[in-house]
């Protein structure tokens, strides 16, 4: 068990703090909003008035649960506090939906050696501490990202040449994985920043854009009111995330522009081709049959995830894959990256072994 400081008490930070408190983990939290701090204090949490005070309590893990646009400034505050607290050696974690820009901000703040990236794959269209609830982050999938470098290089069994080695502190990574799997009952895919950001673009950021486009089409249509009166499940499910904070969505998409932009161009190309086919009465089966390889898989609907009951759980095969055990020796984080790139996830951290399925 580790003490945790949570900076930011919005939907994700508030839900994380609630879940950790419920799991018996010592938590101290803060938020720039007086209202959020007051509400969290009323919920029984230990609250600090600011980041400096939180850091003065020397939590073993500091979670940055702030908007992406505030990440650089808050990382700087944590770095300043670290300089004022001799002997304090926290692990710094974020819960942002984009990892590359966050790692850059963390590195610029001088916290690279303390950092492990994380992204809980859950959320709702709501925001703020009042919208948070502990079950949102219990038993879910997390992406956990590590820093890899090609220099120095190493040769691992099964590879013909040099491969990247892990820069992220393995002890800090193990601690974060234990927090996720033990205290929160979740699972974790250990990835590089690029692998995470490309995947998140496809399953989160582009869907947010398309949801906004669908809602925007209706908002500007002359039959808007009639359409809304006729809307049922497909429209509700397709537009749910578009009802959230547009600035939050904009920040998420623009921060991951390198991966979102190309994916949107592919989507636009396919939609243009479909529109052309409809105009010319040409075959359209090629478009509607493309998802066939995934139609045997379904996203999970998990009870207790809020009014909509939906958690952003990655698509899984019906039968779970066999258990894999990775000894925590050598460059074991790189082994996890390789296994998770092939679809495995960490389900348990034993004292000397990571267990994956």
Query: For residues 175 and 345, what is the distance between their CA atoms, to the nearest angstrom?
Result: 16
Over residues 313-342, the pLDDT tens digits come to 444 555 667 899 999 999 999 999 999 999
Domain that holds residue 244: 198-294
Residue 264 within any structural domain of the chain: yes
* Predicted confidence (pLDDT) per residue in 148-184, tens digit: 986 554 555 555 566 688 999 999 999 999 999 999 9
- pLDDT value at residue 164: 80
Q: Residue 245: which CATH number? A: 1.10.3660.10
E strand or H helix at 234: helix 233-239
pLDDT at 134 over 80: yes
Asked if 61 contacts 84 with a C-beta cutoff of 8 angstroms, the reply is no
Is residue 314 domain-resident? no
Domain C-terminal end among 278, 294, 310: 294
pLDDT digits (tens, 9 = 90+) for 7-32: 999 999 999 999 999 999 999 999 99
Q: With beta carbons less than 8 A apart as the criterion, state whether 92 and 102 touch.
A: no
DSSP letter at 130 equals G
CATH of the domain at 72: 3.40.50.720
Report how many domains make up the chain: 2
pLDDT given for residue 307 in this prediction: 39
Confidence (pLDDT) at 308? 42
User: Is a pLDDT exceeding 50 seen at residue 105?
Assistant: yes
Mean pLDDT, the chain, rounded, equals 92
- Rg of the chain over Cα atoms, rounded to whole angstroms, equals 22
Provide φ and ψ at 196, rounded to 5°. Answer: -65, -50
Same domain, 202 and 188: no
Predicted local distance difference test score (pLDDT) of residue 340: 97
């Amino acid at each position: 068990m580790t003490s945790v400081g949570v900076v930011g008490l919005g939907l994700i930070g508030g839900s994380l703090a609630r879940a950790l408190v419920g799991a018996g983990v010592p938590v101290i939290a803060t938020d720039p909003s007086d209202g959020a701090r007051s509400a969290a204090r009323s919920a029984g949490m230990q609250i600090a008035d600011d980041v400096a005070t939180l850091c003065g309590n020397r939590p073993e893990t500091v979670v940055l649960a702030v908007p992406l646009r505030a990440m650089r400034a808050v990382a700087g505050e944590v770095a300043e506090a670290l300089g004022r607290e001799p002997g304090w050696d926290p692990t710094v974690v974020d819960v942002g939906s984009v990892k590359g820009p966050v790692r850059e901000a963390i590195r610029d703040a001088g916290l690279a050696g303390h950092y492990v990236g994380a992204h809980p794959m859950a959320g709702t269209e709501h925001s703020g501490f009042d919208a948070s609830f502990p079950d949102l982050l219990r038993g879910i999938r997390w992406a956990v990202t590590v820093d890899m470098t090609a220099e120095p290089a190493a040769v691992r069994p099964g590879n013909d040449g040099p491969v990247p080695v892990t820069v992220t502190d393995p002890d800090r990574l193990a601690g974060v994985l234990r927090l996720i799997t033990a205290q929160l009952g979740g699972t974790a895919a250990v990835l590089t920043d690029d692998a995470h950001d490309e995947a998140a673009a496809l399953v989160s950021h582009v869907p947010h854009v398309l949801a906004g486009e669908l809602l925007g089409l209706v908002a500007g249509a002359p039959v808007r009111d009639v359409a809304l009166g006729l809307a049922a499940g497909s429209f509700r499910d397709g537009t749910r995330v578009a009802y959230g904070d547009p600035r939050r969505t904009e920040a998420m998409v623009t921060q991951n522009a390198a991966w979102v932009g190309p994916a949107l161009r592919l989507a636009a190309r396919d939609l243009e081709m479909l529109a052309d086919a409809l105009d010319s009465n040409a075959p359209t089966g090629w478009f509607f049959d493309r998802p066939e390889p995934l139609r045997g898989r379904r996203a999970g609907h998990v009870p207790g995830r809020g009014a909509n009951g939906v958690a952003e759980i990655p698509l899984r095969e019906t039968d779970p894959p066999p258990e894999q055990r990775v000894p925590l020796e050598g460059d074991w984080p790189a082994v996890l990256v390789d296994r998770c790139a092939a679809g495995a996830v960490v389900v348990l951290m034993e004292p000397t072994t990571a267990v994956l399925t």
